[in-house]
Structure 1
Amino acid sequence: MEKQEDFIIELKGIKGTTYKVRIRQKCPFTGETIKVSKSFKTRKQAETYKKITLAQILQGTINQNIHGERSLSDLIDEYIGAVGDNFGRSKIGAYKLIKRSNLAKKRIDSLTTQDLIKHGRERQLPKTQTLKDGTIKESPGAGGSTLNAEFSYIGTVLKWAKAEKYSVNENLITESRRALEMNHLIHDGIERSRRPSQEELDQLINYFEVIRPERDIPLGVLARFAVGTGLRLGEIVRLEWKELNEVNKTIWIRDRKDPRQKKGKDSEIALIWQTGYDTYDILMAQKGKHPQLVFPYSADTISSVFPRAVKRLGIENLHFHDLRHEFCSRMVEFGWTIPKIQVNSGHKDLRSMQRYMNMVSKNLHEEKPSGWVALT
């Protein structure tokens, strides 16, 4: 039941009566029509807010933040529509995931730290999926580094919205970060230092090519190629034949992941042999099998099959992404400089490469020359 009187709507419901101030008034200074809407528990609060707001409109001092009633989901759509042309796939995917969450249903003018904490806890829960054969597959919930990225993406949307005069707290993520960390919801991520031994690699390749050769995806080939090039899985499955330069033995990688750009950059890598796997020969062996993509396989399927094989072989704590790390470590051991390694790996700074230098520190030891005497 509604009763409107002088900019105030009285709403009677099961939980009691609320008073909603709804003002549509033209500002004499700017000529703009100011639209304001806010609810209160008492009429006195509503009256006070109405008087102050009307005075601000007449004086031209009203804070013209708008659209506070929009949901976060709607705001994300508007943000992507306005500036999302150059977003990479991972960022678009993250926004799609956020839009499916309960957090996305919230009004943007009422988002709180508690809403973020609740969202993080919901995302941490394991997910179950019923497969075609009726079996139930359980996937782990989001980790701290994944949630850290999601909250950063939300913060970007809120800052954009504030610049567009939307009724949002643009600093919500910054203000909430300490609480999110204390609730173990976000962190910068744990740097992995896992290297597969050659024996483990041989076991995996034998499994994919001898024990289970019937698979449509040549995972043995992909494992060799990953160690030999340092490419991410997503980059490998996007390689195109038209980007290959057979004379120079190079290939272009389009839209590489780059945290400094909205969309990844393109780079040309060398198809080398120094890791023990000749990647040019590996690639050329695929020629004629597929017309456009070199490896036209699903990254999601590979990410699912690879860990199952690791588990069946009794190999502990090995991810496909560790093969990229192995490339960097082998090239440090081979004697390549960091800038040379970065051409293939795509790492942007020395800090991100430091782990590979630490991992091979034991190999810095050399035999003492004959007649060597310690300084005193």
Structure 2
Amino acid sequence: MATFTKLPSGKIRAQIRIAGFYRAQTFDLEKTARKWAREVEQQLKLSASSDHVDPHKDSNLGDLICKYEEIEGAEKPFGKNKAAVLKALKKKLGHVKLRVLSPIVVRDFVDRRRKEGAGGVTISIDLAYLKTILNWGRYVRKLNVRPDIVSDVRAGLKHTNLKMRSTERKRIASAHEIEKIFEHYKKMKRSTIDMISVIEFALLTSLRQEEVCSVQIEDIDMNARVMIVRDRKHPTEKEGNDSAVPILDDFVDVINKAMGGRKSGSLFPYNPRSVSASFTRACKALKIKDLHFHDLRHTATTDLFARELEIQSVSLFTGHKDWKTLRRYTHIRPESVHLDERRKALRRAQEDESQRSADVTPI
């Protein structure tokens, strides 16, 4: 049963011993200590009757994360985001002994993250991966750890001003903005990236910037009018998530222009970050507010629906597996009526480019 000791500092030390299991924690208030003791006693009684084993007294959360990375990471490589979050968890919580990991420890971690400037969505991701680790430790490694402590903390955050869900972004590029951006790049004398072609392709296909720069010429079949986009973004499958994307009639000129007679290699051999940075600089120079390269994906998806394609057909372009996510594009919005204007802007850009090419005299 639990014992409580008042320390010289005035704090209360709670200790619990049940069926060989031991827990101890120090609290500022006795009522907090007793509440913790009641919860832990219940958990230990359940553990004593199950096949879970108590972690070694020196085992900490960092050890568990490393073991998870060693075993699960070897089976299926982690994505960049997951790997980064696990690294941060080891740095910030890795020293905490598994035996003393509690809702209070996790709550204090959340408080520190907020002081560091982390937003609710970022903190929510941290907690999700922390719970994944604890679930793995309990149900795979059979350790007596408590994944529910994360749920307790998350439930408490509902009563704060912290927004745990991201705000749905609905920014669409207007025809006028696209025209201004094209004019901006036409005036640039030196550019290592053919941004006009990249933007045209993104506005037609709805591919993400990483996907635009990953399309290989060998994966484009102009006869079948299909291109393979490899390793598309997916919540769980990080590799091998390839999909066949239709090539519509108005994609052909943009693709042929980007190929330039080449038979292999990347259709757009550019670094995705460089593409995004160039687009951001252009918008800043043109004083176009709050427009990101990723918004071209939203614009293109809206336009695909404006063509009166079904959700199933549009999903072939966007790569969405969850139609609930894609369904938000199906609502008729004022931006949808500007499809024709955006097409005109694309055609004008293509015609200007063709004219400039024709004006060059061969040597």
Would you call these one fold, judging by a TM-score over 0.5?
A: yes
Shift of 1:204: 1.9
- Which of 258, 263, 283 lines up with 1:286 in the alignment? 258
In structure 2, what is the equivalent of residue 233 of structure 1? 209
Q: Does 1:111 align with 2:101?
A: yes
Question: Using a 3 Å threshold, how does the CA distance of structure 1 residues 157 and 249 change in structure 2: closer, same or farther?
Answer: same
The one-letter amino acid of 1:296's match is: P
- The count of corresponding residues between Structure 1 and Structure 2 is 305
In the TM superposition, what whole-angstrom CA distance separates every residue of 1:236-256 from its partner, at most 9, and x where no partner exists?
Answer: 222223322232232212222
Q: Could you list the runs of 5+ residues in structure 1 that have no partner in the other structure?
A: 1-17, 22-33, 42-55, 127-140, 365-376
Higher strand share: 1
Distance 1:252 1:283 in 2: 13
The one-letter amino acid of 1:280's match is: V
Report if the CA contact (8 A) 2:213-2:266 is conserved: yes
Q: Does 1:297 align with 2:247?
A: no
- 4+ long deviations beyond 6 Å: 36-41, 59-62, 361-364
Distance 1:283 1:93 in 2: 35
In structure 2, what is the equivalent of residue 193 of structure 1? 170
Distance 1:107 1:342 in 2: 46
The one-letter amino acid of 1:82's match is: I
Distance 2:123 2:83 in 1: 13
Q: Does 1:79 align with 2:68?
A: yes
- Which of 132, 143, 159 lines up with 1:166 in the alignment? 143
The one-letter amino acid of 2:315's match is: Q
Distance 1:114 1:304 in 2: 41
Distance 2:115 2:276 in 1: 20
Distance 1:217 1:363 in 2: 29
Report if the CA contact (8 A) 2:127-2:150 is conserved: yes
- Which of 268, 293, 296 lines up with 1:323 in the alignment? 296
- Which of 43, 59, 64 lines up with 1:70 in the alignment? 59
In the TM superposition, what whole-angstrom CA distance separates every residue of 1:247-273 from its partner, at most 9, and x where no partner exists?
Answer: 223221222222364656221111224
Distance 2:205 2:78 in 1: 22
> Please, what TM-score do these two structures have when normalized by structure 1?
0.67
Aligned-residue RMSD, C-alpha? 3.9
Shift of 1:340: 0.6
In structure 1, what is the equivalent of residue 9 of structure 2? none
Report if the CA contact (8 A) 1:193-1:355 is conserved: no
Q: Could you list the runs of 5+ residues in structure 2 that have no partner in the other structure?
A: 1-12, 27-44, 338-363
Question: Using a 3 Å threshold, how does the CA distance of structure 1 residues 101 and 216 change in structure 2: closer, same or farther?
Answer: farther
Comparing both chains, which one has the higher relative contact order based on Cα–Cα distances under 8 Å and sequence gaps of 6 or more? 2
In the TM superposition, what whole-angstrom CA distance separates every residue of 1:95-142 from its partner, at most 9, and x where no partner exists?
Answer: 35524642344333333444444544555567xxxxxxxxxxxxxx55
Report if the CA contact (8 A) 2:23-2:100 is conserved: no
Distance 1:280 1:332 in 2: 20
- Which of 65, 82, 102 lines up with 2:92 in the alignment? 102
Report if the CA contact (8 A) 1:241-1:294 is conserved: yes
The one-letter amino acid of 1:285's match is: K
Report if the CA contact (8 A) 2:197-2:258 is conserved: no
In structure 2, what is the equivalent of residue 334 of structure 1? 307
In structure 2, what is the equivalent of residue 157 of structure 1? 133
Distance 2:111 2:197 in 1: 39
Question: Using a 3 Å threshold, how does the CA distance of structure 1 residues 119 and 217 change in structure 2: closer, same or farther?
Answer: farther
> Please, what TM-score do these two structures have when normalized by structure 2?
0.69
In structure 2, what is the equivalent of residue 30 of structure 1? none
Distance 1:214 1:100 in 2: 45
Report if the CA contact (8 A) 1:67-1:166 is conserved: no
In structure 2, what is the equivalent of residue 13 of structure 1? none
SS of the equivalent of 1:182 reads coil
Distance 2:228 2:216 in 1: 8
In the TM superposition, what whole-angstrom CA distance separates every residue of 1:158-212 from its partner, at most 9, and x where no partner exists?
Answer: 10011212342122222221223434445221111111101111222332x2344
